[in-house]
Amino acid sequence: MKYIVEMENIRKSFPGVVACDEINFQVRKGEIHALLGENGAGKSTLMNVLFGLYQQDRGEIYLRGEKVNITNPNIANDLGIGMVHQHFKLVHNFTVTENIILGIEPVKALMVDTRSASSRIREISERYGLNVDPEAKIEDVSVGMQQRVEILKMLYRDAEILIFDEPTAVLTPQEVTELMKIMRGLIEEGKSIILITHKLKEIMAIADRCTVIRWGKVVGTVNVSDTNEEKLAEMMVGRKVLFDINKKEANPRGEVLRIESLSVLGSAGTHGLKNFSLRVKGGEIVGLAGVDGNGQAELVEAIIGLRRTDSGKIYLHGTDVTRLTTRQRINSGMAHIPDDRHKHGLILDYTVLENLILKNYYLEPYSRRGLINWDYVYTHAEQVIKDFDVRSGQGAEASARSLSGGNQQKAIVGREIDGNPDLLLAVQPTRGLDVGAIEYIHRRLLEQRDQGKAVFLISLELDEILDLSDRIAVIYNGELVGVVNAAETNENEIGLMMAGGRRGAVA
Amino acid sequence: MMVDLIYQLFPYAIAFTIPLLITSLGGLFSERSGVINIGLEGLMLMGMFVGAFVISSVEALYPTAAVWIGLLAAAVIVALFALLHAFACVTLNANQVISGIAINMIAGAVTVYLARFFTGSGNVQIIRGMPRITIAYLSDIPILGQLLFTHTYASTWLILLILALATFLLYKTRFGLRLRACGEQPHAADSAGVNVYLMRYMAVLISGACAGLGGATFIVTLSGEFNGTAAGLGFLALAALIFGQWKPWGILGATFFFGFATTVANVSQVIPVLAQIPGIYLKTFPYVVTLLALILSSKSSQAPKAIGEPYDKGKR
């Protein structure tokens, strides 16, 4: 038996798009097989077909050489397929044990037998070095631990084929290393792993083979030992990709943003901000690194005026703006690219045109005597669309919803930069975008810097922070761990700081 | 004096608590599975009508069993009526609040229509209510015996038994674990092979049965007559559910608080100590306290996370 999983000529279409087009995909027993592709390339769809969440329109699936018909996730479970989803499927106020046994609870005298389940979970956890406490509640454990609970869930169900969907997106670099160790341990125990990712580094580090998908079609399957990052990127995007951003020396000027001992209460479940101080100068990009939920959202919302501060001050060009409204802050030179473009960046059912004037519709010349001057707004929108290369079916009249993610983001970036701000808050500006759009947005951010603007970049992608920033601030648990010069640090150091370690504590 | 007063009030307070408790418990099942049920008022009203109607129809034939037949019929029929809410919320993904309002409106209209149709007056009276009993031996326990086991209704003990069973069901059994998972994180339940739709249907069904039982219990113990309104009892049960933080024993505490406070307000005119306080303060007291409690507890609300969200498989 050569292949444990074979998917033959799989086709799956959704209204208007063919997500998988005659895909052939084989996994050998005992290998880590990476599935590489940009967002929307069809890799998740393919795996959802394998896991039974979707039905293929055409094509066949063979497991261990036998043809199977997987119509729902329960069948996939029974066949030994397990999946760790990108967004964990855990009940926050249940214990680890309760989460793992949900759906297949052992029962003794009418009652769920958590004790025997716990001891079995502890046993599996020790065998694979997962270090999970079966009695802990999910809401009390770290994201990395939650992921290990998801892994345990699969192992508890005796899964042989483990699918990981973008498993490293939420982890610190150290947790990523830990995860890779766990994956190798799983392989040694005879499991097979399919790793969905768009991160080339991880593939090079851990995968045996890699299948690249672009536009719903397989570009090719390669042995990782025979290839390199550049080649994989080229297969993924379909053209040469420039890895090094052409970055000039920074030329910092006067201070634009100063945050002094800022404390902000967090929403329930996340850390607030504690006594946070930071300066951002004109002509530099300051990156804020940190694991999700460590106070980034509170900081950004406090700066732009969406959240009340508890104590401390925020200065823009030396003027105290702590008590100003968001509109006043925008008018004094702040701009904000929010991390969730659907929730906070755009009104999806408005046209691009309307979305572009959300912040300044009431000002001259967009409005005159209280009425919107549509002629001017239209001309202006056309200009932004052209300048920022926003591609849409019906130009300015297209609804924001109909645009692709990359073009939606370009529209937001266009709107924010167009106001010629002194301070640009860019929160996860490239989340979920393909390589082409990422390159474009990175270029625009650098352009702002070179024009002497202050750019404050908040991102969960450490590579993005390292590539773009001149200085890097690290936040952990709502506190500033430290600020380092980008030129003098590396991923490892930042990673340790992201876990709360002070600079220099570990050599 | 004070002690005597409490001895006198206690049976009434309990009698008032019990219909609220069981209705609130019904709400608990529905909401822990993720379906808001503001239709409790309507379901309770339906229970009042079915209970009163069935009892008045059969009590000539079976004078002693009639109240029990009425309670059972109310539970079964209102459970079926609650299927409407489940169908709208679970199958059609309708807005759960609107569906609940619709349930309240339909119940109000249908019961009055049927009552007029059958009796001509719109009121349905029953002749014999639930008899009060004194439990042998237990009633001899000092203090507690007189408070709890003297002049008590059998239905009270049935409903307290249901409370214990419900707690066991929710926290100890497979069914309960799955039901709670559906209310917190339905995607987790679904990916673990739990049928979220089925669980929610069952929860709403149970909630209907409990609210129906609550309405009928009110008829057989306190009012003796269906008169076209549940007088806000269902909404009070809903408030108790929130006040009790979606937990069975919390609900017991909250409903008893309402029961006691309402009883005090009701009898205040005939008790000299209380008659000095203007009635409006006593009558509004439980509601004001509820508002305050809800405001204070809103920060640390234990509401099920997925409550109010129709389950959509595709959304992740």
ipTM for this model: 0.88
pLDDT band at residue B76 using 50, 70 and 90 as cut-offs: very high
Q: In angstroms, what separates the C-alpha of A53 from chain B's closest C-alpha? A: 9
A201-234: b (≥16 Cβ within 10 Å) or e: ebbbebbbbbbbbbebebbeebebeebeeeebbe
DSSP letter, residue A136: S
- In the prediction, which pLDDT does A505 show? 46
Pairs from A70-77 (Cβ < 8 Å, separation ≥ 24): A73/B190, A73/B191, A73/B193, A74/B193, A76/A50, A76/A51, A76/A52, A77/A157, A77/A159, A77/B193
Q: Do B172 and A91 touch (CB under 8 A)?
A: no
Locate all alpha helices (DSSP H) within A157-242, ordered by sequence.
173-188, 200-206, 229-237
Q: Would you tell me how many other CB atoms lie within 10 Å of the CB of residue B270?
A: 8
The yes-or-no verdict on residue B56 having pLDDT over 80 is: yes
Q: Do B185 and A90 touch (CB under 8 A)?
A: yes
Q: Which residues of chain A have pLDDT under 50?
A: 505-507
Extract the tokens encoding B253.
């505490």
| Residue A77 forms contact with B (CB below 8 Å) | yes
Query: Which chain B residues touch A if contact means CB-CB below 8 Å?
Result: 172-174, 177-178, 180-181, 184-185, 187-194, 299-300, 305, 316
Instruction: Report yes or no: A375 and A369 within 8 Å, Cβ to Cβ.
Output: no
Find the CB nearest A111 among B172, B178, B299: B172
- In the prediction, which pLDDT does A268 show? 57
Q: What is the DSSP string of A374-390?
A: HHHHHHHHHHHHHHTT-
- In the prediction, which pLDDT does A313 show? 94
CATH numbers and ranges of domains, chain B = 2-299+307-311 (1.10.3470)
| Rounded average pLDDT over B287-305 | 80
Q: Do B191 and A104 touch (CB under 8 A)?
A: no
SS3 state at A249: coil
What amino acid is encoded at A351 in this protein?
T
Q: Do A107 and B174 touch (CB under 8 A)?
A: yes
- In the prediction, which pLDDT does A269 show? 54
Residues B37 and B49: their CA atoms lie apart, in Å, by 20
Q: Would you tell me how many other CB atoms lie within 10 Å of the CB of residue A80?
A: 18
The yes-or-no verdict on residue B43 having pLDDT over 90 is: yes
Find the CB nearest A112 among B177, B184, B299: B177
Q: In angstroms, what separates the C-alpha of B316 from chain A's closest C-alpha? A: 7
What's the Cα-to-Cα distance from B54 to each of A138, B41, B59, B289, rounded to whole Å? 49, 20, 8, 37
The yes-or-no verdict on residue B163 having pLDDT over 90 is: yes
| Residue A268 forms contact with B (CB below 8 Å) | yes
Q: For A478-498, write each residue's pLDDT tens digit.
A: 899 999 999 899 888 998 898
Short-list A427, A407, A442, CA closest to A337: A427
Best mutation site among B177, B299, B300 for testing chain A: the one with the most A CBs within 10 Å? B177
Residues A143 and A497: their CA atoms lie apart, in Å, by 17
Residues of A in contact with B174 (CB under 8 A): 105, 107, 112
| Rounded average pLDDT over B36-40 | 96
Residues of A in contact with B191 (CB under 8 A): 73, 83, 85, 89
- In the prediction, which pLDDT does A38 show? 78
Residues A334 and A327: their CA atoms lie apart, in Å, by 9
Find how far residue A264's CA is from the centre of its chain.
Answer: 24
What's the Cα-to-Cα distance from A197 to each of A222, A404, B93, rounded to whole Å? 15, 20, 34
DSSP letter, residue B223: I
Residues A153 and A84: their CA atoms lie apart, in Å, by 9
Find the CB nearest B174 among A77, A89, A105: A105
Q: For B95-119, write each residue's pLDDT tens digit.
A: 999 999 999 999 999 999 999 999 8
CATH numbers and ranges of domains, chain A = 5-237 (3.40.50.300), 254-333+422-507 (3.40.50.300), 341-420 (no CATH)
Short-list A115, A96, A114, CA closest to A105: A114
Residues of A in contact with B316 (CB under 8 A): 85, 87
Q: Do B185 and A89 touch (CB under 8 A)?
A: yes
**Count of residues in chain A:** 507
Find the CB nearest B181 among A94, A104, A111: A94
Q: Do A102 and B172 touch (CB under 8 A)?
A: no
Sheet arrangement for strand A161-165: A81-84, A161-165, A192-197, A32-36, A209-214, A217-223
Find the CB nearest B193 among A74, A107, A112: A74
Q: In angstroms, what separates the C-alpha of A91 from chain B's closest C-alpha? A: 5
Instruction: Report yes or no: A494 and A465 within 8 Å, Cβ to Cβ.
Output: yes
SS3 state at B202: helix
- In the prediction, which pLDDT does A265 show? 85
Residues of B in contact with A272 (CB under 8 A): none
Give the count of alpha carbons within 13 A of A217, CB side only: 5
DSSP letter, residue B271: S
**Mean pLDDT across chain B, nearest whole number?**
91
Locate all alpha helices (DSSP H) within A388-461, ordered by sequence.
405-418, 435-450
Structure-token match 């999970």, residue found: A132
